Amino acid sequence: MSFLSKRYRDQKDMNKGRQAEDSKSEAGVNVFLSRALHHLANIQDELHMFYCLPKREVRVQLVLDSNDKMKVFEGFRVQHNNALGPYKGGLRYHPTASMQHFRTMASLMTWKCALVGIPFGGAKGGIACDPKALTAEELETLTKKYVEQMMPIIGPKIDVPAPDMGTNAQVMAWVYEEYSKMHGDEPAVVTGKPLELSGSFGRESATGNGVAYIAKWATEASELSLSNAKIVIQGFGNVGQFAAKKLVELGAQVVAISDSSGGVYSSSGLNVEKLLEFKNYEKGSLNEWDGECEKITNEDLMQLECDLLVPAALGNVITDINANAIKAKMIVEGANDPISAEAQDFLESKGVVIIPDILANAGGVLVSYFEWAQNLQHFQWNVEKVEENFREMLKKAWKETAEKHRSLKVNYRTAAYCIALERVHKASQLRGYHG
Ligand code: NAD
């Protein structure tokens, strides 16, 4: 008989499987990075290690004591690189969260911030927990304990968290409150806060809207058109919902969408407004939706014939295992790290155009930057100013990536990494991080 608790054993088993996947995905990001290094003659190969290894990793134990029942959790924060400014990156609450997973995510944040031209480095963190299985009170306590433990390594000029999977504006409000207890009122410690609590207009919709705008510009640059394009979206949370709404506004047809319960499909296009109402006000899971549609699994959804596929849920969902079943003409990465390096190579050999996460989902961190800048000035921009700056900066990042893609004759991902790497490298040199 084992002396280890069942939850501990379950968690360890899950971590083992997850770590094998995570190390593949960590390798994936580093493969993409080394491909970019290869194209930049002025950046020596030896620096690969410098940009692969995060600067700092912190793991903490978090204990909840509710109704005399103790629950133990692990919290993580990985700070990858801060050459361009304070570390920046989301907080994810998910049962499979692990240090290895956050290493990949933190690295992506470094390149994403550099690509869109904002003065931040890259970080990521969170708690290995199922937020749906916790009460609001437990979630608040857990979040505040996480902040208490991470207090020495976060701050408006050090590391600025934001929402990610399993967290939202309410969680960010708790982060703000806990940090301010020790430091005085400091809204700039975290972004993605509620509008009433020094949040920014446009933050909630930013990532999804950004995905849709990038999809529009990318289709215009290829033989596709967004007008009447058939779109398939995996994930119906923050990113998936706003992307679906904006894509429909831009003239596309969302034919399939899913959440963790499964998906819905209609060849003539789904009623996205009704699905949003059902999900957000009736709190339904998509597999309970009784509108006109066909019920499909997440696996089926990935294999649908469509113009655009938008993964907007978990990472590592397109790998060498299912790549040959993908029938999309273009993939716009709403999620972070959804495609493995092998799968990307295979899909591109078949002519599929892939728009990388560090560009496609950068809208969120862009408005997070606006929120941080507003908080430092204790001033709130209006919606128009947010929207104008948002479109302008995102379009600039798109144009620069497209230009690099043409001039170097590389795919969009390598082009995006080349731009980001040049910027981070220049800043590192100027600071004297390396020779
Ligand atoms: P969210 O928690 O709001 O929504 C996640 C969605 O994915 C939910 O609909 C959930 O049901 C679904 N899902 C979970 N497991 C699934 C599975 N196995 N199969 C299918 N669907 C599943 O999260 P989010 O903020 O929308 O983030 C989604 C992705 O976008 C993540 O990869 C995240 O890192 C990335 N991202 C988010 C932001 C942001 O601002 N929120 C910014 C950049 C990137």
DSSP strand pairing (294-296 vs 262-265): antiparallel
Q: Where are the beta strands (DSSP E) in 8-110?
A: 56-66, 69-81, 87-93
Note the pLDDT of residue 15.
57
The residue ranges of the chain whose pLDDT is under 50 are: 1-3, 435
Note the pLDDT of residue 2.
47
Ligand 1 centroid to residue 426 C-alpha, Å: 33
Note the pLDDT of residue 391.
97
SS3 328: strand
Out of 14, 115, 165, mutate this one to test ligand 1's pocket (max ligand atoms within 8 Å of CB): namely 165
Separation CA 274–CA 271 (nearest Å): 6
Question: What are the contacts of 367-370 at 24+ separation with CB within 8 A?
Answer: 367/191, 367/200, 367/202, 367/203, 367/206, 368/88, 368/160, 368/162, 368/191, 368/192, 368/200, 368/203, 368/206, 369/88, 369/113, 369/118, 369/119, 369/120, 369/191, 370/200, 370/202, 370/203
Q: Tell me, yes or no, if 124 is annotated catalytic.
A: yes
Place of tokens 């499964």: 262
Note the pLDDT of residue 348.
97
Instruction: Write down the pTM of the prediction.
Output: 0.93
Residue 284: Cβ within 10 Å count: 16
Instruction: Out of 124, 246, 279, 404, pick the active-site residue.
Output: 124
Nearest to 116 by CA among 389, 344, 376: 389
Atom of ligand 1 nearest to the CA of 162: 40
Q: Residue whose CA is closest, atom 37 of ligand 1?
A: 164
Ligand 1 centroid to residue 184 C-alpha, Å: 33
Separation CA 232–CA 311 (nearest Å): 8
Q: For the segment 279-334, what is each residue's pLDDT rounded down to a tens digit? A: 988 878 999 998 889 999 999 999 999 999 999 999 999 999 999 999 999 999 99
**Structure tokens that stand for 191 in this block:** 């972004």
Complete edge-to-edge strand list for the sheet that includes strand 87-93: 56-66, 69-81, 122-127, 87-93, 159-163
Note the pLDDT of residue 1.
40
Note the pLDDT of residue 308.
98
- The DSSP element (H or E) to which 306 belongs, if any, is strand 305-311
